C-alpha cells in the first residue's frame, strides 16, 4: 500500500473516531451510539430502569419464609411461571419456595410472591393492573412484603418471571446448555417496580440455535420455528403457511393441466405455474376457501401468508399488467388477491392477519391501492438493503425509504432482514452494530415484527449463540446498549476465557472501521464482490494481520478455559477464523495448515455442523475437508 493510501486511510479512521466522540457527547438520549467497552468482568447489561421498591428478604442460609401464590384456578401460563420461578430460586438460594393456591381456608397472606391475576393482586391497590399489557407485556410491583408478577394474555406472566430473574437478579440462559445462575444463599433485593410491553409483537432471531423452544421462552422471543407450547403462551403461528405459499395454495399437479388460466402469463403469452394469476376470480375463490379451512382446523393461527413463490415473476395477462402499470408496481395485482382474502375473513377471524411479501418486484407501494387493516406487509431487505449493502445501516439504503413509506400506509408492518454471509455461514461478519441500528430504525418506523434471517439450517455458524442472545435482547428492548450486551454474553458464557474472546470481538469491529470503504456495497460491487452479502474469504478486511491476531486471541482463550465445557465453547467460537485460513489455502497459511484442518474437522463433528452455506448439505462439509486435505498434500509434496 502506498504512503498516500496509508495517509487517506489514517484520515478516514481518525474521522470515524472523531464523529463517534462528538455523537457521544452531544447526542440525545435516544440517539446515542453504542460505545465499545474494555471490561474485565461480568456486568448486568439488563439492569431495569425504574423506581426500586423496598428491600425483600426472599431467602437466607438456604431457607425461605416466602411462598409462591397462584389463583384458585390458575392458567397453564400461571402454573408454568410459578414452577419456573420455584426452580430457579431453588438453584440460586438452595431454598424451595412452596407453591400454594388461594382458598377460603388460607389465613396467612404475608411473604408471598403472587403470580398472575390472583384476588390478592386485585385487592392490593396496585394501580398499574388496569394497564393493557396486550399479549406479552408484564408487570412487577410490591406492597410491603408482597411481590406481584402478572402479565398479558399469552406469555405475559411468564415474561414477568424471566424479567425478574434476568434483569433484577442477574440470571442468564445464554444457550441451550450455558446458564449463569448466581449462587446467593441470602437473597435480599429491591425489585424495580414497572410495567413493560415489548417494542415488537413478533421477535424472530432466525438462527438455527434460536429455534430451541425452551431457550426461546426464557429469552422472550416468539419465532414461528421455536415451537413454544400453546399452554405456555405459544409463539407467532403461521401454521405451515409462512412465506412463498402460492405453490401450496394452488398446487400445479392439481390445477395446471385443466386450468392454466389460474397461473401467470409470461411476456410471450404462455402460461406457467411459477406464480398465480392473482386477479383471476376463481383463483381468489379457491384461496379464500383454503385459508378458511386452515383457520377452522388450526385455531391458534395468527398469521397466514398469501405470497409469491420465491424467484420472482408476475402474471402479465391484460388484467394484471394493466393494473400494475397503472399503480406503478407489481404489488398492485398481488394486493387484489391479498385484500380479497383479508376482507373475507376479517369478520369471523378478527385477530388473524393475512401476510404477504414486499419483496423484489413487489417492494414498491402502489400509487392508490392500500392494504386492508388486517393485512400484514412483510418488507424484505433484499437488493434494496442487506443483499447489496450488508455493512451499512438500512436507514441510509433504499430499504430505509421503503420502510418509511410503507409505515405510513400499513399499520401491520413486518421486516425481513438479513444478517449472515449465505455462501459462507462461518465467515467472520462485523455487522453487529448494523443489526442493532436496524432494529431501532424499524421500531422507530412502527414495525410490528422483525425477523433477522441468518443460518437457519445448522448449529455452529459464526458467533451464533452470541448473535442470537444479543438479538433476542434488542428485539425485546431496542434501547439496550449493544456492547454492554456483547460483554454480558462474553464474560458470562466464556468465563475465565472471556478476555481474549472480548479482544477478538473488538478486533473484528475495528476491522470494519479500518476497512469502512472496502465494506461498502459500492466498493464491493466494483471490485468483483458482485454479491456483497456473499463476499468471498479473500476480502481485504480478512487480512493476514487480522488472522494472526485472532489466532493468538483464541490460543490464549483455550489456555485460560479451565474446564472442558468452556474449552468446547472457545473451540466452537474459533471456527470462523479457522475456516477463513483453510479457505485461503496452504500457500497463504503455511505449515500450520494441516493442524488447522484437524482442528476444524474435530470441532465440526462435535458441534454437529451440517451446512457451510445456504442450500448446502453434509456432503459439502465432507467435500470441503477432503479438498483442503488434498491441497495440503500437494503443498507438502511440492516442498
Neighbour tally for 19: CB within 10 Å: 11
| 51-196 and 237-380 agree in CATH topology | no
| DSSP H or E stretch at residue 98 | strand 98-101
Task: List, for residues 167-218, the tens digit of each pLDDT value.
Answer: 999 999 999 999 999 999 899 999 999 999 999 999 999 999 999 999 999 9
CATH 3.30.200.20 given to domain 237-380: no
Burial 476-510 (b: 16+ CB within 10 A, else e): bbbebbbbbbbbbbbbbbbbebbbbbbbbbbbbbb
Alpha-helical runs (H) found in 100-193: 119-122, 156-163
Map out the domains of the chain as residue ranges.
Answer: 51-196, 237-380
Architecture of domain 51-196: 2-Layer Sandwich (3.30)
CA distance 261 to 38: 64
Give this prediction's pTM: 0.93
Residue 23's pLDDT is: 38
Q: Which residues contact 611 (CB under 8 A, 6 or more apart)?
A: 425, 455, 457, 458, 617, 618, 620, 621
Per-run averaged pLDDT (10 residues), the chain, 639 residues: 46 41 37 72 95 97 97 98 98 98 94 98 97 97 98 97 98 97 96 97 98 98 96 91 95 97 97 98 98 94 96 96 98 98 97 96 97 98 96 98 97 97 98 98 98 97 98 98 98 98 98 98 97 98 98 98 97 98 96 97 97 96 98 94
Map grid coordinates 469502512 to a residue: 516
Encode pLDDT of 363-374 as tens digits.
Answer: 999 999 999 999
Amino acid at each position: 500500500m502506498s504512503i498516500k493510501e496509508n495517509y487517506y486511510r489514517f484520515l478516514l479512521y481518525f474521522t470515524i473516531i472523531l464523529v463517534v466522540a462528538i455523537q457521544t457527547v452531544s447526542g440525545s438520549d435516544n440517539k446515542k451510539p453504542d460505545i465499545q467497552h474494555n471490561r474485565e468482568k461480568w456486568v448486568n447489561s439488563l439492569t431495569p430502569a425504574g423506581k426500586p421498591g423496598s428491600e425483600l428478604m426472599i431467602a437466607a442460609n438456604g431457607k425461605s419464609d416466602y411462598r409462591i401464590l397462584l389463583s384458585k384456578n390458575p392458567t397453564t401460563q400461571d402454573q408454568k411461571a410459578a414452577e419456573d420461578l420455584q426452580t430457579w430460586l431453588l438453584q440460586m438460594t438452595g431454598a424451595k419456595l412452596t407453591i400454594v393456591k388461594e382458598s377460603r381456608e388460607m389465613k396467612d397472606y404475608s411473604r408471598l410472591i403472587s403470580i398472575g391475576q390472583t384476588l390478592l393482586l386485585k385487592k392490593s391497590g396496585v394501580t398499574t393492573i388496569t394497564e393493557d399489557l396486550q399479549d406479552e407485556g408484564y408487570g412487577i410491583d410490591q406492597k410491603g412484603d408482597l411481590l406481584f408478577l402478572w402479565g398479558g394474555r399469552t406469555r405475559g406472566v411468564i415474561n414477568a418471571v424471566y424479567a425478574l430473574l434476568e434483569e433484577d437478579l442477574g440470571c442468564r440462559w445464554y444457550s441451550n446448555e450455558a446458564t449463569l445462575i448466581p449462587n446467593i444463599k441470602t437473597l435480599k433485593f429491591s425489585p424495580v417496580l414497572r410495567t413493560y410491553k415489548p417494542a415488537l409483537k413478533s421477535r424472530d432471531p432466525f438462527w438455527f440455535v434460536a429455534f430451541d423452544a425452551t431457550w426461546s421462552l426464557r429469552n422472550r422471543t416468539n419465532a414461528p420455528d421455536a415451537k413454544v407450547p400453546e399452554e405456555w403462551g405459544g409463539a407467532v403461528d403461521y401454521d405451515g403457511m409462512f412465506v412463498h405459499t402460492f405453490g401450496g395454495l394452488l398446487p400445479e399437479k392439481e390445477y395446471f393441466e385443466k386450468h392454466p388460466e389460474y397461473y401467470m402469463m409470461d411476456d410471450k403469452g404462455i402460461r406457467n405455474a411459477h406464480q398465480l394469476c392473482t386477479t383471476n376470480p376463481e383463483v381468489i375463490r379457491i384461496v379464500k376457501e383454503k385459508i378458511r379451512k386452515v383457520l377452522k382446523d388450526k385455531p391458534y393461527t395468527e398469521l397466514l401468508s398469501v405470497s409469491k413463490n420465491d424467484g420472482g415473476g408476475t402474471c402479465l395477462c391484460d388484467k394484471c399488467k394493466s393494473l400494475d402499470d397503472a399503480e406503478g408496481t407489481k404489488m398492485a395485482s398481488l394486493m387484489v388477491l391479498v385484500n380479497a382474502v383479508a376482507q373475507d375473513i376479517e369478520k369471523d377471524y378478527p385477530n388473524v392477519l393475512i401476510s404477504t411479501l414486499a419483496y423484489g418486484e413487489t417492494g414498491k407501494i402502489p400509487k392508490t391501492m392500500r392494504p386492508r387493516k388486517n393485512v400484514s406487509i412483510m418488507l424484505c431487505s433484499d437488493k434494496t438493503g442487506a443483499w447489496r449493502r450488508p455493512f451499512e445501516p438500512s436507514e441510509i439504503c433504499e430499504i430505509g425509504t421503503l420502510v418509511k413509506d410503507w409505515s405510513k400506509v400499513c399499520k401491520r408492518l413486518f421486516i425481513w432482514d438479513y444478517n449472515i454471509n449465505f455462501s459462507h455461514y462461518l465467515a467472520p461478519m462485523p455487522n453487529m452494530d448494523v443489526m442493532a441500528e436496524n432494529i431501532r430504525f424499524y421500531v422507530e418506523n412502527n414495525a410490528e415484527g422483525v425477523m433477522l434471517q441468518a443460518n437457519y439450517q445448522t448449529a455452529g455458524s459464526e458467533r451464533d449463540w452470541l448473535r442470537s442472545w444479543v438479538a433476542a435482547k434488542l428485539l425485546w428492548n431496542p434501547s439496550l446498549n449493544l456492547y454492554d450486551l456483547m460483554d454480558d454474553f462474553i464474560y458470562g458464557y466464556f468465563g475465565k476465557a472471556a478476555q481474549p474472546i472480548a479482544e477478538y470481538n473488538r478486533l473484528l469491529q475495528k476491522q470494519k472501521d479500518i476497512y469502512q470503504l472496502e465494506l461498502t456495497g459500492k466498493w464491493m460491487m466494483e471490485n468483483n464482490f458482485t454479491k456483497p452479502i456473499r463476499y468471498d474469504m479473500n476480502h481485504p478486511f480478512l487480512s493476514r494481520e487480522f488472522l494472526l491476531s485472532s489466532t493468538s486471541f483464541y490460543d490464549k482463550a483455550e489456555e485460560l478455559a479451565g474446564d472442558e465445557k468452556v474449552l468446547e465453547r472457545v473451540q466452537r467460537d474459533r471456527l470462523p477464523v479457522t475456516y477463513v485460513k483453510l479457505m485461503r489455502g496452504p500457500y497463504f497459511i503455511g505449515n500450520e495448515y494441516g493442524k488447522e484442518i484437524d482442528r476444524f474437522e474435530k470441532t465440526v463433528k462435535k458441534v454437529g455442523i451440517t451446512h457451510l452455506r445456504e442450500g448446502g448439505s453434509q456432503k459439502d462439509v465432507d467435500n470441503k475437508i477432503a479438498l483442503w486435505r488434498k491441497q495440503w498434500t500437494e503443498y507438502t509434496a511440492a516442498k
